[in-house]
Structure 1
Amino acid sequence: MGLAGILLALALLICLAYRGWSVLLLAPVAALLAAAISAEPLLAHWTQTFMLAAAGFIGQFFPLFLLGAVFGKVMEDTGSVRAIADFLTLRLGPDRAILAVVLAGAALTYGGVSLFVALFVLAPMAEALFRRADIPRRLMPPAIALGTFTFTMMALPGTPAIQNAIPMPFFGTTPFAAPGLGLIASAIMLGFGLWWLGRAEARARASGESFSAIRAPEIDEAVLRERAVTAREFDPNEIARGHQSDGSPSILVAAIPLLAVVAVNLCMTFVILPALDFSWLSEPRWGGTSFEAVSGVWSVAVALTMAALIAVGLNYRRLPRLRETLDAGANASVLPIFAVASLVGFGAVVAALPAFGLVSDWVLSIGGGPLVSMAIATNILAALTGSASGGLTIALDALGDTYLQRALEQGIDPQLLHRVAVMSAGTLDSLPHSGAVVTLLAVCGVTPRESYFDIVMVAIVGSLLALVAVIVLGTVVGSF
């Protein structure tokens, strides 16, 4: 009966969230439904299980949500995001329109710009390029997805994406975990995606298909917002707020803050923080934590802070309403983190139910060792929630300690666990109910029927191929 309650709660959460109901309301209702069917105390689960887990997630990762959203908004309002997109458009031109869109998306997201900020700039850039090159509009979403949803989110070493930060407190790793394997995975995703899109473009030209100026009807903004906020760290409602600069900086000025994110993250991770003594973190006043549990989050937080300050300093005259820009960025981080935290609270309640033992036993009994088991569990949860960060946190909250223990017993480097966990969260999170997919299709003006198959190929199939390669290589030669 308890297992049936878990499944019913999941079905309720998925169906109503897809229809645009707020996850802030749905997650506790679904969690309490599962608890009620299991004859568990409802109020205790709401305040002591759900809320404590949600609050723990917020306390751990709100700095990254906040700083990432502020940095993205500063980059947008200064015109820096547009400058980078325009530079690649000019350099590569319509003859290499798909490559230009992919590289622009990769540069922005790897440099710390929030996904939704990037989407609203990349879509008009892609439309102009595809129109001039006479490439079908339906290929715009997969091209943008390849540059923003895949390797820069989950594989490139040091990526500031929140998904790459979540495993760090669980495994004591850094944003640069398993860098060699991450680079190989990135090459597989990028190579497969570009091959598929090149093939799709060639077939479209051979069949006489051309760019269509007709856009699909837009999705209701309220529904779009509710789906989107569980997917990434930026509330799309704040995109239009603040004050966007009429002009754009030079490509050098625009690129420096992005380079700063990578450089500062690297220095903090391998030079500055390891050189300091943080033994005092084990004291009760600091929560009895360890340096390994917090250093990764600290590195990314400092990197985003420095990059935002540099962006403001270099573009101060382009920010006549700096307070409005900063307010919009800060506000944009609030709803997403509460939405994801609510999913984490839901997962905590489910994991605390007696029937979850059956699910846990099944997952841990999957053949192939902890890497395969963790990959399957994280993929399933990311698919069900439509959220890479939510699915990943639920999986690690419930089974992270067990996976780490089993990995250490088998001589598996925690860095490999980290990379597999992040990549697993970023594959099946791109199903049709994903907020990122829904938003991408909406801003590009196409329907799921037109573009979703190609999104599957570049964002799911390519990522799964890379995930399999990392698991096989990691199992054979270890982490590197």
Structure 2
Amino acid sequence: MGLLGLLVGLGLLVLFAFRGWSVLLLAPFAALVAALFGGEPLLANLTQVFMVNAAGFLAQFFPIFLLGAVFGKLMDDSGAVTSVAGFMAERLGERRVILAVVLAGALVTYGGVSLFVAFFVIVPMARSLFRAASIPRRLIPAAIVLGTSTFTMSALPGTPSIQNAIPMPFFGTTPFAAPGHGIIASLIMLVTGLWWLHRAEAAARRAGEGYGDDADGLIEQAAADELVRERATTAREFDPAELQHGHRSDRPSPVLNAIAPLVVVVTVNLVMSLVVLPRLDVSYLAEQRFGETSLAAVAGVWSVAVALAAAIVTTIALNRARLPALRRTMDAGANASVLPAFSVASLVGFGAVVASLPAFTIVRDWVLAIEGGPLVSLAVATNVLAALTGSASGGLTIALDALGPTYVELAARTGINLSLMHRVAVIGSGTLDILPHNGAVVSLLAICGLTHRDSYFDIVMVGIVTSLLALVAVIALGSALGSF
């Protein structure tokens, strides 16, 4: 009965989340259903397991949600994201339209801009470029997914994405974990994804397929759509509803002013991770008032938080004239972080309840018994949970909350570097999360005015297949050569 309850709870969570129900309601309900089937005390599971673990996630990661959303909103309202996208379109658009869209998305998301901010800026640019080049608009979502939701989310060393931050407290790693593997994985995703998109473009031209018909008002409708909002906030760290608040500049930022904050994010993150924090005396962290923790457990989050804070200051300093309603912009960014953070925290609470049930030992033993060693079983666990929840961050946190200490022990016993574990876990979470019910996929299709029938196959090819190829390569290289 316990295992049945686990499956029923998970099934209810997936089914109703796909129908647009709030995860804030669904996750505790599904957790209690699983506990009920297992004959476990309901109130104790709700207050002592679900809430404690959800609160623990917020305590660790809310600064990154908050600062990332504020930074994204400032970049949007100052016209910086528009400027970066326009720069890429001007330099590459006439001859290499698809590459321009992919690189525009990659540049802003690797620089710390929230995914949904990028969506709402890059989609209009992509529509204009694709229309001028007579490339089918059904390929726009795949091009944007490749640039924003693959290698810059899970593979590029130092990416400030929440997915890259989640393993750091578990494994004591930094945002730059296994940089060699991350660069190789990024190249595999980018090259194979571009190959597929250019192949699809060539096939469309041979068939005489043009751009197609556009509809007006799609972006505004998607931003106000409650169903899109509920699905989106479990997928990434920005609430799309807040894009309508604040005050967007009527003129784009100068391109150097727009790119500078993105460079600051990467540079400060690198310096904090590899130079500053390792040299600090943080023995005080062992005190009870600081949670009796260690630098390894907090350094990664500290690095990303400082990098985003520095980028916020840089954005304001360089673009103050284009931020006439600074308080409203920053308020909107702060508000945009709350629902996504609490939604993912609720998924974490659900996972903690499931992991505490006696029946979960069956699942754990099955995962650990997968042939191929700890790297393969970790990849499978993160893939499956990300697929079921439709959230890379939610699936990754559930997997590491339940199995993280076990994998740390396995790594010590088998000699696997924890940085390699980190990279495999993050790339694994960013593959099968891009299933049809994923909030980012649903939101992007709504913004583009397209359906799953129109565009989802190409999204699978550039989002799932390329990431799986990269994941296999990283595991193979890691098994043969170790972490580098």
TM range (shorter): over 0.9
Asked whether 1:279 is paired with 2:283, we answer yes
Are the aligned partners of 1:72 and 1:113 in contact in 2 as well (CA < 8 Å)?
Answer: yes
SS at match of 2:95: helix
Are the aligned partners of 1:215 and 1:446 in contact in 2 as well (CA < 8 Å)?
Answer: no
Q: How much does 1:440 deviate?
A: 0.8
Give the equivalent residue in structure 2 for 1:122: 122
CA–CA distance in 1 between the matches of 2:214 and 2:95?
22
Per-residue CA deviation, residues 100-136 of structure 1 (Å, 9 max, x unaligned), is 0000000000000000000000100100000000000
CA–CA distance in 1 between the matches of 2:473 and 2:436?
25
CA–CA distance in 2 between the matches of 1:54 and 1:414?
25
**Which of 328, 342, 351 pairs up with 2:355?**
351
Counterpart code for 1:40? E
Per-residue CA deviation, residues 303-325 of structure 1 (Å, 9 max, x unaligned), is 00000100001111111110000
The answer for unaligned runs of 5 or more in structure 2 is: none
SS at match of 1:65: helix
SS at match of 1:402: helix
SS at match of 1:184: helix
Give the equivalent residue in structure 1 for 2:334: 330
Give the equivalent residue in structure 1 for 2:296: 292
Counterpart code for 1:9? G
Are the aligned partners of 1:68 and 1:114 in contact in 2 as well (CA < 8 Å)?
Answer: yes
Give the equivalent residue in structure 2 for 1:69: 69
**Which of 411, 414, 417 pairs up with 2:415?**
411
Asked whether 1:246 is paired with 2:269, we answer no
In the alignment of these two chains, the number of paired residues is 480
Q: How much does 1:171 deviate?
A: 0.3
Structure 1 residue ranges, 4+ long, deviating more than 6 angstroms after superposition: 216-220
Asked whether 1:446 is paired with 2:447, we answer no
Identity across aligned pairs (percent)?
67
Per-residue CA deviation, residues 143-183 of structure 1 (Å, 9 max, x unaligned), is 00000000000000000000000000000000000000100
Q: How much does 1:365 deviate?
A: 0.6
Asked whether 1:196 is paired with 2:200, we answer no
Asked whether 1:312 is paired with 2:278, we answer no
Are the aligned partners of 1:94 and 1:130 in contact in 2 as well (CA < 8 Å)?
Answer: no
CA–CA distance in 1 between the matches of 2:28 and 2:93?
49
More displaced 10-residue stretch of structure 1: 208-217 or 366-375: 208-217
Per-residue CA deviation, residues 413-462 of structure 1 (Å, 9 max, x unaligned), is 00000000000000011000000000111111111001000000000000
More displaced 10-residue stretch of structure 1: 290-299 or 88-97: 88-97
Give the equivalent residue in structure 2 for 1:457: 461
More displaced 10-residue stretch of structure 1: 248-257 or 104-113: 248-257
More displaced 10-residue stretch of structure 1: 281-290 or 103-112: 281-290
CA–CA distance in 2 between the matches of 1:38 and 1:409?
33
**Which of 221, 229, 245 pairs up with 2:225?**
221
Per-residue CA deviation, residues 391-428 of structure 1 (Å, 9 max, x unaligned), is 00000000001011111111110000000000000001
Counterpart code for 1:116? F
Q: How much does 1:213 deviate?
A: 1.9
TM-score (norm 1): 0.99
Q: How much does 1:214 deviate?
A: 3.5
Q: How much does 1:283 deviate?
A: 1.2
Alignment of 1:394-405 (within 5 A): 394-405=398-409
Alignment of 1:38-187 (within 5 A): 38-187=38-187
Alignment of 1:418-433 (within 5 A): 418-433=422-437
Q: How much does 1:258 deviate?
A: 0.2
Counterpart code for 2:206? A
Q: How much does 1:249 deviate?
A: 1.7
**Which of 448, 456, 474 pairs up with 2:478?**
474
Counterpart code for 2:421? L
CA–CA distance in 2 between the matches of 1:257 and 1:314?
9
SS at match of 1:94: coil
Per-residue CA deviation, residues 158-209 of structure 1 (Å, 9 max, x unaligned), is 0000000000000000000000010000000000000000000000000000
Q: How much does 1:280 deviate?
A: 1.5
Q: How much does 1:215 deviate?
A: 4.1
Q: How much does 1:250 deviate?
A: 1.3
